[in-house]
Amino acid sequence: MSDIKTDNRIETVSKILGREKGPPLDDENPFEAMMARFDRAAELVNLDAGLYRVLRQPEKQIIISVPIHRDNGDVDVFTGYRVLHNTSRGPAKGGIRFAKNVTLDEVKALAAWMTWKCAVVNVPFGGAKGGVVCDPDNLSMGELERVTRRYTSGLLDTLGPDSDIPAPDVNTNERVMAWVMDTYSMHKGYAVTGVVTGKPIEMGGSHGRRDATGRGCMIATREALTHLGLPIRGTKVAIQGFGNVGSVAARLLEELGLTVVAVSDVSGGIYNPNGIFCGDAAEWVVKNKYLEGYPSAEKITEAELLALDVDVLVPAAVENAITGKNAHTVKAKVICEGANGPSTVKADEILEDMGVFVIPDILANAGGVTVSYFEWVQDRLGYFWDEETVNERLNDVTTRSFHDVLKVSQDNSVNMRTAAYMLSIERVASVHQLRGVYA
């Protein structure tokens, strides 16, 4: 780790933290949880006090009204957010989510996570995130399109291939990204493919993007098992979440030779100690929408899935799945965090005491932003790669990043999460030092 201190530093991060102590940590507030981990890593890398103040604050927080005509003629108004956390290393990068429970604190946390995630895999992006407070299940396709286009038009001064590049997130997909790109392009007067990633192949999307996050989880899990000297073939894995990330991770881990014994979705979990054939389960979901009723496994609860006696646990569904209340029930030797923020700070402490090897979210699920970077590069060049090339390059980046974090972990006797934050903070802070403060 290089020295990122300044010679004339008056204060230290430790002094700032001691002086600015507030109320006790809200363990399940995503922004506070992210900042607690950031603070710990900032102290360990001896971060300059001025840079600490810069990096803990988002550069830009935008709140916009999103009025639309509903299908019945009524006018409804939704609230939209976009937060740019840090753009020192390149354009802001981060998804757009549509959900009833979107909050500014959540978006701020996710934007900061994107900063660290991009830095830990060393792609030249900063962190951003956005969202609209709405219930997509209660919106028609036309209403969803109008929400997307009005939200996009409200951010025209922020979005752009050189400034802020959205991607799909919770309840958004390729079609939503196509609407974002079209809205932005119509205002520019020409097609701007690089303004979003995760869009359809026909519009400049990248092969391998849809599977990228789940594939990154598979690669990180493979490297962790190899590092720990654990076998791959026959190793048992439970996966919380069977959406895009969880289902892809399940399929690829199964192809690698692991035995997937449990998966879950919003309808609950299913368990078969002899293994679940993931392709068959995926076909069941296509036909029936949910895993519920799947005939070749027994039904279990989410709590039971997290506590299964397996070697690998992949929480790939929601934030705060593993907390101080249930972390002691985890029996897995390895946790690969497919979701953003699936473990709380208190859970971290318990899991570390138990000797669980945690591959943190900002490393484990960075496959998505890595291939988003590939998509952006292809759009800028106007030259596109086949899926094999994309997957090979994703494997190279993820494998290298895992071992970069592992080295920091071993050199500093810290867990993988703290090591990932230390590495990413150093990379971002180093660029800030080189660029200086514009005044």
- DSSP for 251-294? HHHHHHT-EEEEEEETTEEEE-TT---HHHHHHHHHHHSSSTT-
Of 216, 169, 171, whose CA–CA distance to 196 is shortest? 169
Mean of the pLDDT values across residues 255-283?
Answer: 95
Percent of the residues in the chain that have a pLDDT greater than 70, as a whole number? 93
How high is the pLDDT of residue 327? 97
The model's pLDDT over 207-229, given as tens digits with 9 standing for 90+, comes to 999 999 999 999 999 999 999 99
pLDDT band at residue 123 under the 50/70/90 scheme: very high
pLDDT band at residue 30 under the 50/70/90 scheme: confident
Whether the Cβ atoms of residue 356 and residue 174 lie closer than 8 Å to each other: no
How high is the pLDDT of residue 338? 96
Name the catalytic one among 117, 129, 236, 346: 129
- 10 Å Cβ neighbour count for 4? 18
pLDDT band at residue 31 under the 50/70/90 scheme: confident
pLDDT band at residue 16 under the 50/70/90 scheme: low
Distance from C-alpha of 377 to C-alpha of 397, rounded to nearest angstrom: 15
Averaged pLDDT of the chain: 93
Q: What is the CA radius of gyration of the chain?
A: 21
pLDDT band at residue 11 under the 50/70/90 scheme: low
Q: Which domains does the chain have, with CATH numbers?
A: 1-57+415-439 (no CATH), 60-193 (3.40.50.10860), 212-359 (3.40.50.720)
Mean of the pLDDT values across residues 358-384?
Answer: 97
Is 15 noted as a catalytic residue in this protein? no
pTM for the complete prediction? 0.92
Whether the Cβ atoms of residue 380 and residue 134 lie closer than 8 Å to each other: no
Q: Which residue has the higher pLDDT, 76 or 22?
A: 76
Mean of the pLDDT values across residues 356-381?
Answer: 97
The model's pLDDT over 162-196, given as tens digits with 9 standing for 90+, comes to 999 999 998 999 999 999 999 999 999 999 999 99
The model's pLDDT over 312-344, given as tens digits with 9 standing for 90+, comes to 999 998 888 999 999 999 999 999 999 988 999
- 10 Å Cβ neighbour count for 428? 24
- Long-range pairs for 60-68 at CB < 8 Å and ≥24 separation? 60/84, 60/158, 61/104, 61/108, 62/155, 62/158, 63/104, 64/151, 64/154, 64/155, 65/154, 66/132, 66/147, 66/150, 66/151, 66/154, 67/150, 68/143, 68/146, 68/147, 68/150
Task: Establish how many alpha carbons lie within 13 A of residue 3's alpha carbon, considering only the half-sphere containing its beta carbon.
Answer: 3
